[in-house]
Amino acid sequence: MQIFTCPFCGPRDEREFHFIAEAGKTRPDTLNQISDEDWAAYLHSHRNEKGHVREIWMHTTCGELFLLERDSVTMEVLGSTALREAGQ
Amino acid sequence: MTTRRLNSGGLIDRSKPISFWFDGKTYEGFEGDTLASALLANGVSIVGRSFKYHRPRGVWSAWVDEPNAIMNIRLNGKEQPNCLATTTYIEEGMAARSVNAFPTAKYDIKGGLDLFHRFLGAGFYYKTFIWPDWHLFEPAIRKMAGLGAVDREVLEDFQSAQNHAKCDVLVVGGGAAGLTAARAAAEAGKDVVLVDDQRVLGGSLYRCGATADIDPDEWVAAQKTAIENAGGRILTHTTAYGVYDHGLVALVQSQGFGRAPALWRMRAGQVIMATGALDRPITFAKNDLPGTMSLNAAGEYLARYGVMAANKPLVMRNNSHASATIENLRAAGSKVEEIDHVDGITNQGRKHTTGLRIGKDQIDADGVLVSGGLTPLVHLWRHAGGKLDWCETRQAFVPKPATDAMIAIGAANGTYDLAQAIEEAEAAGKGTPIDRPSTTYTTTLIDTKPHSKGRQWIDFQHDVTLKDIEVAARENYVSVEHLKRYTTLGMAFDQGKTSNMAGLTAMAALRGKPIPQVGTTTFRPPFVPVPLEIYHGAKTKQLWSPVKRLPLEDKHRDLDAAFCEYGGWLRPGWYGSGDRDATIQKEAKAARDTAGIFDGSTLGKIEVMGPDAEAFLNFVYYNTIKSLKPGGIRYGFMLTEGGIVYDDGVVTRVDQNRFIVSCSSSHVDGVRTHLEAWRQDGNDPDRIFVHDQTTAWATVTVTGPKARDVLSSLDTTIDLAPDAFPHMTFREGTMGAIPLRIARVSFSGDLSYEVSVPTGHAETLWNAITAAGKEQGVSPIGLEAMSILRAEKGFIIIGKDTDGETMPHDLGFTIPRAKKKAAFIGDRSLHTEKANADDRKVLVGLSVPDGEPPLATGAHAFTETPTRRSLGYVTSSYQSPNVGPIALAIIEAPHAKVGDTIKIWHKEEVREVTICDPCRFDSEGGRLHA
Ligand SMILES: [Zn+2]
């Protein structure tokens, strides 16, 4: 059971958090032509890196999204940044 | 039967005798005895039968590593399976029964299985029972192979306390090292918790710690006092069984037999692992014969329980650590004879060892005590991801240097020498750890000789022999993980505590490789078996998944409502105690004939506000929201990015920058999270605000031809005239002094108003509407009747009439897909090959021939050509008092043309029905706009 730190509420049990997405993924502009491959990559392809990862999580009890940096091997939490500070 | 209890010594209380039963006979022990120590004291040698061959087995160990003495135990009407006799303290009247044995361990009618052992080798189950079907054999095998039976009666008051705690330092193990470390840490000002799984602290100190300087009783008492005086907490009877992420350690604290153990979720800044080491068995022919025991266990039985395991034992050992125990046994009067382990040694006897045969020589004895070297207990270390080193001197895996989070000390770290362990523990407790001291311990590897005669047991609990390891090696199951699964080595509930090292040693010898190159298996929690109950505690039924309750629940109860759970809410299904189906039919008919009053408080009311709210909702919804005028209401879908329909509902535009999203009752939390995620990711969160007001407003819906008449008699400021207040519009006003909102929307297809007031005024509104209803002959209706009304109109419920593949055009909502100019969630997914396929399942109605009953919900439509396959299924089906049997279904489009017939299969019965429009009532919508 991990402890994540919400930038607004402080350290809390992982059960209060909800994974949203890997950070850095941008929604294609759907008003333009997008190939099936590009759209499928947006929907389904994830980097799923080993080691240092950057992810967007929601702290469900306060509803805020933030950037969580952690190590996917050691489970060490490396930092939490409010989304607007992270500049998305 | 002679007693093996000594007149003095041990930690038991001889002034408190306790009577207990084993396999139908009564015995006596003392307070502080385990079942195993008390049975040994009474000279009981056979305590169980082995898992596969039903061979007689005796006590091997003195604590958690016991593979043989597994029992079903009954006390005060409560029975528990899978109890270890070595860790269960006796209580008055306790009745133990050996498992795997019928009728008793001594006389086992399945003992004859052993004669067929050559057919039950490694991979036996896999090889033999694959053809024709494993399931034919499974029941008989399970019955034969069980390790006890569960008694349902125990479950009622069996509830584990759930404790949450934290500390700076958690010391696991209350032996000399653990006590020393806990004391040092507590005296250095740390918040310390020490846990030990036994009744009495001290670990192996009683067995091997007595020296001129240390009296174990006094020394342990002094450490305990010092720890507690420095503010440390001590939990006995408590096992740390798992280490998880971020310093979480799971502790199971026994509450005595038959009572659910307590769970502690301990969050520790640092874990000091002082878990000690286990004694390894030695592999030789018939080494599973009762009377063959771990030497260290014999030392424990003497030191803790005053029981002499054997009066004239033969001892085989390969290590220096055994000397102290041998001395203690001799000092207590045991005539110990040491012999060397040589190839070809064979245990003698049938139900108890009578000695050993070495070549032609027979040496008589009443016990064989073996010590195959110490294995540090590194389970928790591995749970935490700690690495191991192979130590050639110790012939064991020892922890690599510590991390900040965890440090190993004492025998768990390979520091077997008492003085060194205390020094190491002191340093760890003070926070200034030292390197592992060099050891005085010596041992020699006992080379396992493959292909030798006789059956040599590796895993006592799962009946795995050296021959099985040879078979696995021959058939190339050489990786440790494969070896384990092929032979079931280490897969019994002792999880290989005694057998893993023996198995590794054998495989290493067979492959001619050093042990570290053969590797070791993964250690996973739990270290000891724990009941599933431990994770469950009071979280059951309502506490596990609490229902949401209506503000008007009392009012509904006054009307004798039948409450059911719908999407997490407790809501009236129908009213009155009459026949369920007849009542529902009556309510559904009355709602069409006059009107019905319905509690709609659960409908989502998520307010979306701000200057960018319009653009945001236009993006979130499939339908165009931009063109919606203030005071207007629009029905729409929210999609996932995959284009799948996620929710449906109406959006109300209260004013230019303020909307109310009325999502499905069961979907409010999900929709709120969905909106929040998109609001903050990709939008300026300062220009949009999402606020869930669902429970802040209570809603009473009045639906039916007389709905306006009912509401007209209410004292409100809102003009209900059809022209002033048309369908799909929204008005705000007051009822007396109470703020009031009315939405003219309809889930029934009739003239319908959703009337909302702040929740605190719910009763006032309900009383006013029901009183007005009474004058018009209008009564409340439950959710079941409403479900029929909506199905008559072909109105869907997301997740019931749709599935994980349904897109909006499958439901007939095609325009935004074709024409919407702005981007919206899921838009691109509506134009993939899959989305454009012409055999997508689409929503239809099904009509049954006159006089036939309704279809079964979930029944499949099918075709026989070219081969039999499903074309879709019935999603909703009801008997309607207004139009007869009705059904909605999703069916592949080529088979879903109105007027076609289609076959429906349910429980061997095939029915032919006709595809029709989903809407079966008032298809022109005249009543909706009345
Ligand atoms: Zn928060």
A64 touches chain B (CB under 8 A): yes
Handedness of CA B122, B128, B133, B138 (dihedral sign): negative
Q: Are A30 and B246 inside 8 Å of each other by CB?
A: no
Tokens of B272: 């000091």
How close A10 comes to chain B (CA, Å)? 15
How close A3 comes to chain B (CA, Å)? 7
**Amino acid symbol at B690:** V
Q: pLDDT-based confidence at A88, cuts 50/70/90?
A: very low
Q: Is B37 helix (H, G, I), strand (E, B) or coil?
A: helix
What residues have CB less than 8 Å from B364, skipping those under 6 apart?
Answer: B312, B354, B355
Q: Which residue of B has its CA nearest to A17?
A: B673
Q: Are A1 and B244 inside 8 Å of each other by CB?
A: yes
B246 touches chain A (CB under 8 A): yes
Across B724-730, average pLDDT:
97
The number of domains in chain A is 1
Looking from the CA of B396 toward its CB, the CA atoms found within 13 Å total 25
**Which residues form the domain of A9?**
3-24+36-86
B673 touches chain A (CB under 8 A): yes
A86 touches chain B (CB under 8 A): no
**Residue A64 CA to ligand 1 centre (angstroms):** 6
Q: What is the pLDDT of residues B824-854, one digit of tens each?
A: 999 999 999 999 999 999 999 999 999 999 9
Tell me how far CA of residue B633 lies from CA of B258, B604, B671, in angstroms. Answer: 61, 14, 18
Residues of B in contact with A34 (CB under 8 A): 828
Q: What is the mean pLDDT of chain B?
A: 92
Give the pLDDT confidence score for residue B481 in this predicted structure. 85
> What is the Cα–Cα distance from B552 to B561, expressed in whole angstroms?
11
Q: Which residue of B has its CA nearest to A86?
A: B681
Residues of B in contact with A39 (CB under 8 A): 828-829, 832
Mutate to test the interface with A, among B535, B675, B680, B819 (most CBs of A within 10 A): B680
Q: Which residue of A has its CA nearest to B676?
A: A63
Spatial CA neighbour of B381 closest among B287, B243, B521, B223: B243
A20-49 residues touching B, CB cutoff 8 A? 20-21, 27-31, 34, 36, 39, 42-43
**Residue A11 CA to ligand 1 centre (angstroms):** 9
B691 touches chain A (CB under 8 A): no
B829 touches chain A (CB under 8 A): yes
CB B735 within 8 A of CB B715: yes
- Looking at the DSSP assignment, which residues form a beta bridge with residue A13? A3
> What is the Cα–Cα distance from B479 to B84, expressed in whole angstroms?
31
> What is the Cα–Cα distance from B791 to B920, expressed in whole angstroms?
8
CB atoms under 10 Å from CB of B338, counted, come to 13
CB B473 within 8 A of CB B510: yes
CA-based end-to-end distance of chain B? 96
CB atoms under 10 Å from CB of B409, counted, come to 33
Q: Is B221 helix (H, G, I), strand (E, B) or coil?
A: helix
Tokens of B279: 């004694």
Across B25-54, average pLDDT:
93
Mutate to test the interface with A, among B246, B679, B836 (most CBs of A within 10 A): B246
How close A35 comes to chain B (CA, Å)? 9
CA-only gyration radius of chain B, Å: 37
**Amino acid symbol at B603:** L
Give the pLDDT confidence score for residue B593 in this predicted structure. 97
Give the pLDDT confidence score for residue B462 in this predicted structure. 84
CB B35 within 8 A of CB B96: yes
Across B54-65, average pLDDT:
94
Q: Which residue of A has its CA nearest to B835?
A: A36
Q: Which residue of B has its CA nearest to A60?
A: B673
Burial zone of B599 (CB within 10 Å; 0-12 exposed, 13-18 middle, 19+ buried): buried
Q: Are B827 and A36 inside 8 Å of each other by CB?
A: no
Burial zone of B470 (CB within 10 Å; 0-12 exposed, 13-18 middle, 19+ buried): middle
Q: pLDDT-based confidence at B179, cuts 50/70/90?
A: very high
Burial zone of B167 (CB within 10 Å; 0-12 exposed, 13-18 middle, 19+ buried): buried
Task: Identify whether A50 is part of a domain.
Answer: yes
Q: pLDDT-based confidence at B213, cuts 50/70/90?
A: confident
Spatial CA neighbour of B159 closest among B252, B262, B77, B78: B262
Secondary structure letter of residue B275 according to DSSP: -
> What is the Cα–Cα distance from B293 to B40, expressed in whole angstroms?
11
Q: Is B461's pLDDT higher than 90? A: no
**Residue A7 CA to ligand 1 centre (angstroms):** 7
In what helix (H) or strand (E) does residue B679 lie, and over which residues does it extend? helix B668-680
Task: Identify whether A31 is part of a domain.
Answer: no
Q: Are B833 and A36 inside 8 Å of each other by CB?
A: yes
Residues of A in contact with B829 (CB under 8 A): 39, 43
Tokens of B107: 């006389």
Task: Identify whether A29 is part of a domain.
Answer: no
More confident residue, A86 or B473: B473
Q: Is B124 helix (H, G, I), strand (E, B) or coil?
A: helix
Query: Which range, B339-343, B662-666, B854-858, has the best average confidence (pLDDT)?
Result: B854-858
CB B420 within 8 A of CB B439: yes
Task: Identify whether A30 is part of a domain.
Answer: no
> What is the Cα–Cα distance from B549 to B557, expressed in whole angstroms?
12
Q: What is the pLDDT of residues B413-451, one digit of tens each?
A: 999 999 999 999 999 999 999 999 999 999 998 877 766
Give the pLDDT confidence score for residue B154 in this predicted structure. 56
> What is the Cα–Cα distance from B39 to B26, expressed in whole angstroms?
10
Residues flanking ion ligand 1, Cβ below 5 Å: A 6, 8-9, 59, 62
> What structural domains and CATH numbers belong to chain B?
13-108+281-371 (3.10.20.440), 162-278+376-429 (3.50.50.60), 445-513 (1.10.10.1100), 606-692+805-823 (3.30.70.1400)
Q: Is B882 helix (H, G, I), strand (E, B) or coil?
A: coil
Residues of B in contact with A18 (CB under 8 A): 673
For A30, the closest of B265, B677, B827 (CB atoms) is B827
Per DSSP, helices labelled H in B363-499 are 379-383, 418-430, 466-474, 480-487
Q: Is B617 helix (H, G, I), strand (E, B) or coil?
A: helix
Q: What is the pLDDT of residues B318-338, one digit of tens each?
A: 999 999 999 999 999 999 999
**Residue A83 CA to ligand 1 centre (angstroms):** 12
Interface size A-B, in CB pairs within 8 Å, comes to 54
Can you point out the beta strands (E) in B709-805? 729-735, 738-744, 752-758, 779-780
Give the pLDDT confidence score for residue B883 in this predicted structure. 96
Q: Are B245 and A27 inside 8 Å of each other by CB?
A: no
CB atoms under 10 Å from CB of B512, counted, come to 6
Tokens of B854: 């309704």
Across B880-888, average pLDDT:
97
Task: Identify whether A53 is part of a domain.
Answer: yes
Q: What are the phi and psi torsion angles at B736 (to 5°)?
A: 65, -125
Tokens 């008793």 sit on residue: B104
Mutate to test the interface with A, among B675, B828, B830, B831 (most CBs of A within 10 A): B828
Q: pLDDT-based confidence at B714, cuts 50/70/90?
A: very high
**Amino acid symbol at B642:** G
**Amino acid symbol at B508:** A
Tokens of B743: 């939405």
CA-based end-to-end distance of chain A? 27
CB B50 within 8 A of CB B57: yes
Give the pLDDT confidence score for residue B227 in this predicted structure. 98
B827 touches chain A (CB under 8 A): yes
For A34, the closest of B265, B828, B833 (CB atoms) is B828
Give the pLDDT confidence score for residue B135 in this predicted structure. 57
**Amino acid symbol at B819:** K
CB B787 within 8 A of CB B880: no
> What is the Cα–Cα distance from B180 to B413, expressed in whole angstroms?
15
Q: Are A84 and B685 inside 8 Å of each other by CB?
A: yes
**Residue A67 CA to ligand 1 centre (angstroms):** 12
CB B434 within 8 A of CB B300: no
Q: Are B641 and A20 inside 8 Å of each other by CB?
A: no
Q: Is B140's pLDDT higher than 60? A: no
Q: Which residue of A has its CA nearest to B674?
A: A20
CB B313 within 8 A of CB B334: yes
Tokens of B420: 């060194």
Q: Is B638 helix (H, G, I), strand (E, B) or coil?
A: strand
Residues of B in contact with A36 (CB under 8 A): 832-833
Q: What is the pLDDT of residues B494-510, one digit of tens each?
A: 888 888 888 888 889 88
Task: Identify whether A43 is part of a domain.
Answer: yes
Percent of chain B having pLDDT more than 90? 78
Tell me how far CA of residue A87 lies from CA of A67, A82, A83, in angstroms. Answer: 10, 9, 6
CB atoms under 10 Å from CB of B312, counted, come to 13
Give the pLDDT confidence score for residue B152 in this predicted structure. 66
Percent of chain B having pLDDT more than 70? 93
Q: Is B82's pLDDT higher than 90? A: no
Q: Is B116's pLDDT higher than 80? A: no
Q: What is the pLDDT of residues B623-678, one digit of tens each?
A: 999 999 999 999 999 999 999 999 999 999 999 999 999 999 889 999 999 999 99
State the pTM of this model: 0.87
Q: What is the pLDDT of residues B199-212, one digit of tens each?
A: 999 999 999 877 76
Q: pLDDT-based confidence at B142, cuts 50/70/90?
A: low
Across B25-33, average pLDDT:
97
CB atoms under 10 Å from CB of B344, counted, come to 13
Tokens of B166: 């934290």
Secondary structure letter of residue B479 according to DSSP: S
CB B64 within 8 A of CB B528: yes
Q: Is B30 helix (H, G, I), strand (E, B) or coil?
A: strand
> What is the Cα–Cα distance from B765 to B303, expressed in whole angstroms?
78
SS3 letters across B729-744: EEEEEEECCEEEEEEE
Per this entry, what is the length of chain A?
Answer: 88
Q: Is B521 helix (H, G, I), strand (E, B) or coil?
A: coil
> What is the Cα–Cα distance from B903 to B905, expressed in whole angstroms?
7
A88 touches chain B (CB under 8 A): yes
Q: Are B248 and A1 inside 8 Å of each other by CB?
A: yes
> What is the Cα–Cα distance from B829 to B836, expressed in whole angstroms?
10
Q: What is the pLDDT of residues B369-415, one digit of tens each?
A: 999 999 999 999 999 989 999 999 999 999 998 788 999 999 999 99
> What is the Cα–Cα distance from B238 to B201, expressed in whole angstroms?
11
B535 touches chain A (CB under 8 A): no
Per DSSP, helices labelled H in B108-155 are 124-128, 134-145
Q: Is B451 helix (H, G, I), strand (E, B) or coil?
A: coil
CATH number reported for the structural domain that contains residue A47 in this entry? 3.30.2270.10
Give the pLDDT confidence score for residue B420 in this predicted structure. 95
For A60, the closest of B245, B673, B681 (CB atoms) is B673
Spatial CA neighbour of B39 closest among B105, B110, B101, B108: B105
